[in-house]
Structure 1
């Protein structure tokens, strides 16, 4: 089973990815992880990627594509894989399509975990981190016993700068633009499946597993 998992930040892709790979016994290939691994292994492409990542810049498509397709050639991907974070845009999707055709493979499912923007905003801006021990909480889903105080060390809870509303809205805007283009790319191929990610984790999982029976 070859699967692409799409969704905006806060949609719960990471949680569902773990369930999918356990269900199908396939590797979870995350863009961030494979870029870091390639950099640590000091491969030619990895060193190029490291140069961009160390400056906080986006890694160019040709480097990301090279690292991702190299990973897909590994033995553990021969019976399937779950792609998370790749492709990120249409250029990468087209390159992936070319790789799959060249290797006589197909993408079985492109799954989009859809969640309305205001709920994503609530999920992403509600995170709080202890300034003392680093423990994390959420004001709605995992609140501390005492407001703004860590349960473990009584330290003060703070909101990280990248969790503030203005920053989160900008992240969502950029990611939504890219995701809409990817959805338009995959719709004609017939492999796109949309699930409601606003439900509880168990319900979303049941919907996901149901897709694989279609």
Structure 2
């Protein structure tokens, strides 16, 4: 039996780690939209060329081109036994296009796994990074503190800074934007009866175990 999956979750929820686990355990290709966009543009596929034209102008790639690139990828024979989609769809129109194209191919989604983590926890996770101004070594206030507080392990300097992308306010805004775009998709897949939510605010192994339980019951 094939296993056609979509992985959802806010930035910092641990999607990348869980995608690796699913791909290794079930032997299905991980289809990340970022990767397939780069490949389509590099290989100059008709859709890749179209996407490049928009990107070169600094414009957003329209839904029909994005959906075309995903459709081309899902037509590859390595997806016949299943696939793991990540980063697509981003809106309801894309979700409906995905539904149409996969129905035609006989590769409809079996399950949508949504990794849920409290946004407050995600702000801490995502805004905890800081960098040594002298040598560029990276630290995290929760997961990777310097051995001696205020001193870089690598070069011994005492001055650190935080990138603007990692500052709490920027992170909060990014999460708000993502929450807003994810909410309609969560409702859409809930209505389809294929949404499975997992508590991502726990040990990585426990989250993997829960996902495994869901996927085992699909067979």
- Give the TM bin, normalised by the shorter chain: over 0.9
Name 1:66's counterpart in structure 2. 68
Any residues of structure 2 matched to 1:22-171 within 5 Å, and which? 22-54=24-56, 57-131=59-133, 133-154=135-156, 156-171=159-174
Name 1:194's counterpart in structure 2. 197
* 1:135 positional shift: 3.8
3-state SS in 2 of match to 1:212: helix
Q: Is the deviation greater in 20-29 or in 148-157?
A: 148-157
Name 2:175's counterpart in structure 1. 172
Q: Which runs of 5+ in 1 are unaligned?
A: none
* 1:38 positional shift: 1.2
* 1:154 positional shift: 3.9
Would the alpha carbon gap of residues 130 and 65 (structure 1) be closer, same or farther in structure 2, given more than 3 Å must change? farther
For residues 44 and 52 of structure 1, the distance between their equivalents in structure 2, rounded to whole angstroms, comes to 13
Q: TM-score, normalised by structure 1?
A: 0.92
Q: Is the deviation greater in 69-78 or in 136-145?
A: 136-145
Would the alpha carbon gap of residues 65 and 130 (structure 1) be closer, same or farther in structure 2, given more than 3 Å must change? farther
For residues 4 and 163 of structure 1, the distance between their equivalents in structure 2, rounded to whole angstroms, comes to 27
Would the alpha carbon gap of residues 152 and 89 (structure 1) be closer, same or farther in structure 2, given more than 3 Å must change? same
Q: Could you give the per-residue CA deviations for residues 159-213 of structure 1, whole angstroms, max 9, x where no partner exists?
A: 1111111211111111101110100111111110000000111111111111112
Figure out how many residues of one structure are paired with residues of the other and give that number. Answer: 214
For residues 15 and 54 of structure 1, the distance between their equivalents in structure 2, rounded to whole angstroms, comes to 32
User: Contact 1:132–1:153 at 8 Å: present in 2 too?
Assistant: yes
Would the alpha carbon gap of residues 210 and 133 (structure 1) be closer, same or farther in structure 2, given more than 3 Å must change? farther
For residues 94 and 38 of structure 2, the distance between their equivalents in structure 1, rounded to whole angstroms, comes to 18
User: Contact 1:114–1:194 at 8 Å: present in 2 too?
Assistant: yes
Query: Which is greater in Rg?
Result: 2
For residues 51 and 123 of structure 1, the distance between their equivalents in structure 2, rounded to whole angstroms, comes to 36
